């Protein structure tokens, strides 16, 4: 049996290097890592498996802001000014009201913008850029009103016929506009992003799990488990061991999933 690894571009490679001894001496994830490394060294350097860029990409925060600005036609300096005021560029920031990430998106807002992980810097910045672009369009390019709505909500802007008389909102608009005019230096931070979607990763795992029970290393593992069980039973070291062992084997797929998710 071959373990197939499907990369973001749809290319499939195969790992055939897991040895029986690897599973007996270490957990499956370690064995898989070793096999992947062996397979990679044995294949052409241009293969999808050896090309790590096929599985992930590295971007700087500045690159993300530039991409967001171009995608949603928003001045990049406005986005960085907002990020400075919102979170000081902290991807893990959470406000007392529950706003999340660099652009401080509220849960409902993030969901409406299609942001699945508000603490992912790329998703968060793209979501914030999309939101402010919508507000700028709504207020005919009036940056102050768009910022006020970003902070306090469009309902309050409509209610008060302009920037709401909230100290927080008024200070927010003033500070962002000041940063916007001065220009903000973006921290020299890089973000590593997987190019696999959750659906692709889940499909790859299901393929691996469906093939793994037929692999020689897994059969060797079962044989060793059976030997241990026979020995323990003969020595009367376990009570009701057979039923527990059968249950363990019936849940092996879930055990492998849990193991891989910890890596």
pLDDT band at residue 232 using 50, 70 and 90 as cut-offs = low
The C-alpha angle 57, 62, 67, rounded to 5 degrees, equals: 70
Summarised one tens digit per residue, pLDDT across range 105-115 is: 999 999 999 99
Catalytic residue (one of 62, 67, 86, 199) = 86
Number of domains in the chain: 2
| C-alpha separations of 10 from 33, 142, 178, 211 in Å | 21, 44, 47, 19
Considering the domain architecture, whether residues 178 and 62 belong to the same structural domain is answered as yes
| pLDDT of 148 higher than 70 | yes
Q: Of 12, 9, 66, which is closest to residue 207 (Cα–Cα)?
A: 12
pLDDT band at residue 36 using 50, 70 and 90 as cut-offs = low
Q: Please give the pLDDT value at position 194.
A: 64
Considering the domain architecture, whether residues 145 and 213 belong to the same structural domain is answered as no
Considering the domain architecture, whether residues 46 and 161 belong to the same structural domain is answered as no
CB atoms within 10 A of CB 55: 14
Domain that holds residue 32: 3-55+197-262
Query: If you average pLDDT over residues 27-38, what whole number do you get?
Result: 54
Based on its alpha-carbon atoms, the radius of gyration of the chain, rounded to whole angstroms, reads 26
Query: If you average pLDDT over residues 160-177, what whole number do you get?
Result: 97
Considering the domain architecture, whether residues 128 and 226 belong to the same structural domain is answered as no
| pLDDT of 46 higher than 60 | no
Query: If you average pLDDT over residues 19-42, what whole number do you get?
Result: 50
pLDDT band at residue 223 using 50, 70 and 90 as cut-offs = confident
What whole-number distance in Å separates Cα of residue 144 and Cα of residue 225? 69
- Concerning whether 182 is annotated as a catalytic residue, the answer is no
Lookup: tokens for 178: 């000041």
Of 16-25, 83-92, 192-201, the one with minimum mean pLDDT is: 16-25
What whole-number distance in Å separates Cα of residue 200 and Cα of residue 10? 10
Considering the domain architecture, whether residues 159 and 103 belong to the same structural domain is answered as yes
Please report how the helices 143-152 and 121-138 are oriented relative to each other, as an axis angle in degrees rounded to 10. Answer: 120
Q: Please give the pLDDT value at position 85.
A: 97
Considering the domain architecture, whether residues 63 and 171 belong to the same structural domain is answered as yes
Considering the domain architecture, whether residues 130 and 177 belong to the same structural domain is answered as yes
Boundary (domain end) residue, out of 143, 176, 192:
192
Boundary (domain end) residue, out of 192, 220, 238:
192
């Amino acid at each position: 049996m071959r373990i197939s690894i499907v990369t973001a571009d749809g290319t499939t490679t195969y790992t055939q290097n897991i040895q029986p001894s690897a599973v007996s001496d270490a957990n499956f994830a370690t064995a898989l890592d070793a096999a992947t490394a062996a397979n990679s060294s044995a294949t052409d350097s241009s293969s999808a498996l050896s090309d790590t860029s096929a599985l992930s990409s590295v971007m700087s925060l500045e690159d993300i802001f530039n991409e967001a600005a171009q995608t949603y036609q928003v001045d990049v300096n406005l986005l960085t000014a907002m990020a400075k005021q919102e979170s000081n560029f902290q991807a893990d920031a959470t406000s007392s009201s529950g706003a999340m990430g660099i652009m401080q998106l509220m849960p409902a807002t993030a969901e409406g913008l299609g942001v699945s992980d508000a603490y992912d810097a790329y998703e968060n910045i793209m979501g914030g850029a999309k939101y402010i672009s919508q507000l700028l369009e709504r207020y005919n390019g009036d940056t102050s009103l768009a910022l006020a709505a970003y902070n306090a909500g469009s309902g309050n802007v409509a209610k008060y016929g302009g920037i709401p008389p909230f100290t927080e909102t008024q200070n927010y608009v003033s500070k962002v506009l000041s940063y916007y005019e001065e220009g903000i230096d973006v921290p020299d931070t890089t973000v590593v992003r997987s190019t696999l979607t959750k659906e692709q990763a889940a499909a790859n795992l299901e393929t691996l799990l469906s093939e793994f029970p037929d692999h020689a290393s897994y059969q060797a593992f079962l044989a060793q488990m059976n030997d241990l069980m026979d020995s323990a039973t003969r020595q009367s070291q376990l009570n009701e061991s057979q039923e527990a062992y059968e249950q363990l084997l019936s849940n092996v797929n879930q055990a492998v999933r849990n193991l891989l998710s910890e890596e």
